[in-house]
Amino acid sequence: MTSILRRRPAQRRSVERVERMLDECALLLDEIGYEAMTTKEVARRAEVPIGTFYQFFHDKLGLVRALALRNLEAFLERISERFAAADLRHWTELVDLAIDEFVDMKRGTPGFAVVDFGEVLTAPGGPAIPGTKRVLDGIQDNSAVVADRLRALIQELLDAPAGPGLDRALVVAVEATDAVLKLAFRADPRGDAELIAECKHLVRRYLTPHLP
């Protein structure tokens, strides 16, 4: 997150202020959406001076970029914790676990239905606001960044072989998952169960040649 922030919060008070601004950003995304949200309102609700906001964030998009990165870190941490606690017999169960965790966050994590890992949606299921495909990195697409983090996690958890084939396959899998789950949340605000099941089936079958 420090590469996205204008400056790194060094003191505990500053860290708490940044977290409050991110928390209020997430709540406002659910309440009024990205386009209606203002930096002034985020600062007011977080009980910080507007000058403090601009000490840490360039603008509203910078705030959302930090929220997206926090979401990604939380998602990866939750997957790792669930994997450690589960008795998984095959890597395909990790696919199901990851998709279930993503769906749970869509349903229950503030702001996640509008901004999960970067792309800003006008409503759950899309469409996306133009110019937010590279929110996480600024150069790579959000999906490429997510795929890279998932590859590192998969190699750690499954001892899977590295290589361009797996890298490419994970980018495709992330893009496909994103598209099908957007469809699921357009069909049902809670996520259409049959489409979620189809998403799991699609990803498991696609990744079979690439994982042990």
Cis peptide before 49 (omega within 30 of 0): no
List, for residues 27-57, the tens digit of each pLDDT value: 999 999 999 999 999 999 999 999 999 999 9
Is the pLDDT reported for residue 160 higher than 80? no
Which of 190, 163, 189, 191 is closest to 177 using CA atoms? 191
Contact 68, 134 (CB under 8 A): no
CA 74 to CA 156: how far, in whole Å?
17
Tokens of 176: 């496909």
* Predicted confidence band of residue 182 (pLDDT cuts 50, 70, 90): very high
Domains with residue ranges and CATH for the chain: 12-210 (1.10.357.10)
Q: Strand, coil or helix: what is 121?
A: strand
Q: Which residue's entry shows tokens 């600062």?
A: 43
Report yes or no on whether pTM surpasses 0.85: yes
Q: Scan for tokens 């999960």, then name that residue.
A: 116
pLDDT in tens, 57-111: 999 999 999 999 999 999 999 999 988 888 778 889 989 999 999 999 999 999 9
pLDDT reported for residue 2: 46
Instruction: Compare 157 and 146 and report the one with higher pLDDT.
Output: 146
- Secondary structure of residue 57 in the 3-state scheme: coil
For residue 116, is pLDDT > 50?
Answer: yes
